[in-house]
Structure 1
Amino acid sequence: MAISSSGQDPEQGRAAHGWTVVAVAGAAIVTAGAFTTFGGLLLVPLHEERGWSRASIGVAFAISTVLYGVTAPFAAALTDRFGVRRVLVGALLLAGGGAAGTGVAGSPAQVAVAWGLGVGLGTGAASTALAAGVAERSGAGRRGLVAGLLTAAGVVGQFVFLPVLSQVVEAYGWQAAAWGLAGAAGLVAVGALVVLRGARARGHAGAGAGTPGAGYTPPFVTRALRVLTIATRRPAFWLLAGVFAVCGASTNGLLWNHFTPAAHDHGMPATSASTLLALVGVFNVAGTIAAGRLTDRVDPRRVLAACFGLRALALVSLPLLWSPSVGVPLVAFAVLFGLLDVATVPPTLALCRVHFGQDAVVVFGWVNAAHQLGAGTMAHLGGLTRDAFGSYDPVWAGAGALCAGAAVLAGVVRGGRTDRPERPSLYAPTPRDTV
């Protein structure tokens, strides 16, 4: 076996460099995660200091949320064309610029442009799409682990930065926190430029990946849209999109929006409910990494079905666990739900790889858009149900039933083997594309 002049096995060098890319991507995803929760700290200060209505400020957050979901498939195709390094740096600069622009914005419309467009596009490109793209490039045998690690990084960003940013807002004002977050994004971007200089030579640049011909690089928007068009002709896409829509409905849409109000209905203080949600976030990390390791070793359909089956049991049992104070039953619920919350990402990405081969990351981006659609739908329906019935109990039962159905659908998806030959790209260029 050939040894490099430095005395290091070339294969070991490639593996080490691969983990360097994972580490840099993890830092970017942690930073992007901080942006996604910081918006909640802006609403009250902007309303009180500027006198703007909550509705006008909320437009910026709505735009950001929508773009966060729909950006992923286009960012995945863009990464295949230009590489992890360029997309990562561009995403961080967009998000950082959006935060800085919000700090100096003089009207709700300017906030909508800065935070809505800048942060929405930047965080959308530096989250799910980035995690999936780096995981796919990490090599067989560790893709699930890398997907789990990077997905967990986003959760860390959401829950680790939020208390720090809250203290900065309280002590120095919201503008200082916005500029500090923009500075953090800039530092990570500079670090990525320096550390990932050799990524192209190691196969992490991604140029031309997932394309049908050697040296051919299709327009990224065209590719993302055409992959969607072709993928929708396969039942596997609709099964995975449906399953992930249920995932978004039962987590982001339901738990993160309605757990605290439901706890308040049972006499629990908001601070206690927030503590339980923080516990969910802590165990997200362990659950996602464990799911990634399992996905590398067993049929991903089994991992996905188990996640939804256990989640269904947890949600259905929640109405029986409520109390005015935090007790062992509610702590057990928070731990279990935390282990299952984002553990669905690695097996879903693996199944996208099985069915869509080189276009797995782009397809996963579209599947993740279904996740956001499910989350938004349940966030609205949860409130409607509470208004109609005076209780959240029907919501938990309904979400549990949806999760049970998703567990069945996960078993219906065909071909859970991840070791079979990779499918070719769905994308078939037309003569116009090659001009």
Structure 2
Amino acid sequence: MKSDGLRPRLHYGWIVVLITFLTLLVAAGIRSIPSILMLPFEKEFGWSRADVSSVVSINIFLYGLMGPFSAALMQRFGVRKIMVGALVLLAVSLSLTPLMTSLLQFDLLWGVVAGLGSGTLANVLGVTVAGRWFTQRRGLVVGVLTASAATGQLLFLPMLAKITVSSGWKTAIYTAVAALVLLIPIVALWMRNHPYDIGAAPYGETEPVKPSRFQGNLFLEPLRALRSASSSGTFWLLAGTFFFCGFSTNGLIGTHLIPACGDYGIPEVTAAGLLALMGIFDLVGTTVSGWLSDRFDSRWLLFWYYGLRGLSLIYLPQALGLGSWQLVLFAVFYGLDWIATVPPTAKLSAESAGKERAGMVFGWIVVAHQVGASTAAYEAGLLRDWLGSYTIPFVVSGLVCLIAALMAVLIRRAREAVRQAQA
């Protein structure tokens, strides 16, 4: 696109990417709040870490389960309406949180309502936006939007932890609500559903492409996509590796690193700073991963990502015991690899599923990721209450990452088998 025949005009897809980045950033920051609240709730309400972890587990599970249905909703009603609705749902959930008095209310507000709201703004949103607006640079865009989750921690966690310590957890909650109130009108005014809506072509194309209309039932079509994808060995290997990805990232480290640091006398603000440091390096690592997935075999990228993550988690208990620069070393190394697995996984998923159902199929793979995260969130809190330490959960997660690295190597064989069967 050109404005005067000489100077190229900024493609509107980049504005859409910026708005999506901000939305995913705020949603990620909100999802990370329970890790800050775990210790204050233990003191104020007497809830154990297993109690709070169970709420986080429900939230993470629904966050994943919404993925494929969110993709269908975006196809049917448009990306902008679904984004605004999800942000409003999160704002309502957060606004009511300071009024709660029981664990059941926490389950409903954070486990169910916030889980559904944040699940609508999951990785599927980034994949959908990248698929609609970009033919070229798609892997890079997926990497940037995926990295926004880590950037959300970078901006929110240290600030919210400091507010919690100085002014109380309710003030931290209202700060998050204020961020949502500012974001909602931005999405409503400037977000666009598809380049065809403004007469533009996707980035890398010369002619506008009319989007296909959604066909089928909103609830049955994602299930049909799952049934179709389940016949492929590639789908099950991607879902399996993504289960272990969730088991070793937001379910474990995102939820339990701050309380684990508390066991060693490390202050909450310092521990939140470690997560923020991971966010800085994950922003780099995941963006570079998107760039690499446009150029190299995604299967071998996954092999290295999972293998190196596994080694870093096995090292974590020692780093916690030693403290200082060892923890910084872990944060840098692990941060580079936090969710670098998403761009190559999304690419492999799109290749095997086809353009029309790519969002829904990737949504089901994200479900596997969040089931793993949900399992780890509850399992780690339960084992900490039983054993008095997080050492076993950290080491087990490291070992399953090594298994995931081996599974990634097998994806090529499964894909070739599907091609032979089709031939």
Q: Determine if contact 2:153/2:276 at 8 Å carries over to the other structure.
A: no
Q: Does 1:67 align with 2:65?
A: no
Counterpart among 308, 311, 327 of residue 309 in structure 2: 311
Query: Which residue of 369, 376, 379 corresponds with 1:378?
Result: 376
Matched with 2:335 is 338
How far apart are 1:379 and its partner, in Å? Answer: 3.9
Whether 1:39 aligns to 2:13 is no
TM superposition shift of 1:193? 1.4
- In 2: Cα distance, 1:137 partner to 1:324 partner: 48
| Change in 2 beyond 3 A, CA 1:179/1:343 | same
Paired residues of 2:87 and 2:180 also in contact (CA < 8 A): yes
1:295-374 residue pairs with structure 2 within 5 A? 295-318=293-316, 321=319, 323-327=321-325, 329-358=326-355, 359-374=357-372
Cα displacement (A) at 1:352: 0.4
- Structure 2 partner of 1:237: 235
Q: What is the CA-CA distance between 1:391 and the residue it aligns to?
A: 6.6
TM-score (norm 1): 0.80
Q: Partner residue of 1:210?
A: none
**Could you tell me how far 1:107 is from its partner in structure 2?**
5.7
Matches within 5 A, 1:381-400: 381-382=379-380, 395-400=393-398
| Displacement of 1:287 | 0.6
Deviation readout 1:276-328 (Å, 9 max, x if unpaired): 4432222111111110111111121121112112223333444565543313x
Amino acid at match of 1:243: T
1:7 is aligned, of 4, 9, 24, to 4
Which residue in the other structure is 1:226 paired with? 224
Contact 2:25 2:149 in 1 (8 A): yes
RMSD: 3.5
Question: Structure 2: where are the runs of 5+ without partners?
Answer: 203-210, 416-423
Tell me: CA distance 1:205–1:67, structure 2 relative to 1, closer, same or farther (3 Å): farther
1:184 to 2:182 alignment: no
Alpha-carbon deviation of 1:112? 4.0
Question: Cα gap change, 1:344/1:389 in structure 2, threshold over 3 Å: closer, same or farther?
Answer: same
Please list, as runs of the form range in 1=range in 2, the aligned pairs for 1:69-88 lying within 5 A after superposition: 69-88=64-83
Instruction: Write the letter of the residue equivalent to 1:366.
Output: W
Q: Distance in 1 between matches of 2:102 and 2:392?
A: 41
Q: Which has the higher contact order (CA 8 A, sep 6+)?
A: 2
Q: Report the residue type matching 1:291 in the other structure.
A: S
Q: Please list the CA deviations of residues 163-191 of structure 1 after superposition, one character each: whole Å capped at 9, or x if unmatched.
A: 32334445555444433422321321211
Q: Aligned AA for 2:312?
A: A
d(CA) in 2 for partners of 1:259 and 1:173? 20
Q: Which residue of 1 aligns with 2:197?
A: 201
Residue 244 of structure 1 and its aligned partner are, at CA, apart by 0.7
- Relative to structure 1, is the Cα distance of residues 323 and 176 closer, same or farther in structure 2, using a 3 angstrom cutoff? closer
Closer/same/farther in 2, CA of residues 40 and 318 from structure 1, 3 Å limit: closer
User: C-alpha offsets along residues 80-118 of structure 1, whole Å, 9 cap, x if unaligned?
Assistant: 222221111111111112112324456655554443333
The one-letter code matched in structure 2 to 1:344 is T
Amino acid at match of 2:87: L
Aligned counterparts of 1:32 and 1:16: Cα–Cα separation in 2: 25
1:22 Cα shift?
0.5
Rounded Cα–Cα distance in structure 2 between residues aligned with 1:341 and 1:318: 14
Q: Report whether the alignment pairs 1:19 with 2:14.
A: yes
Would you say 1:98 and 2:93 are equivalent positions?
yes
Offset at residue 122 of structure 1 (A): 1.3
Query: Aligned AA for 1:293?
Result: W
Structure 1's 112 and 205: CA in aligned 2 closer, same or farther, altered over 3 A? farther
With over 3 angstroms needed to count, the CA separation of the structure-2 counterparts of 1:259 and 1:150, relative to structure 1, is same
Q: Which runs of 5+ in 1 are unaligned?
A: 207-212, 418-435
Q: 2:29, 2:157 within 8 Å by CA — same for their partners in 1?
A: yes
Name the CA distance, whole Å, in 2 between partners of 1:105 and 1:389: 30
The residue that corresponds to 2:281 in the other structure is: 283
Structure 1 match to 2:215: 217
Q: In 2 relative to 1, CA 316–252 (structure 1 residues): closer, same or farther, beyond 3 Å?
A: same
Counterpart position of 1:421: none
How many residues matched?
A: 403
Deviation, 1:56, is: 7.6
SS in 1 for 2:340: coil
Distance 1:170 1:390 in 2: 24
Determine the C-alpha separation between the residues in 1 that align with 2:371 and 2:201.
31
Work out the percentage of aligned pairs sharing the same amino acid: 37
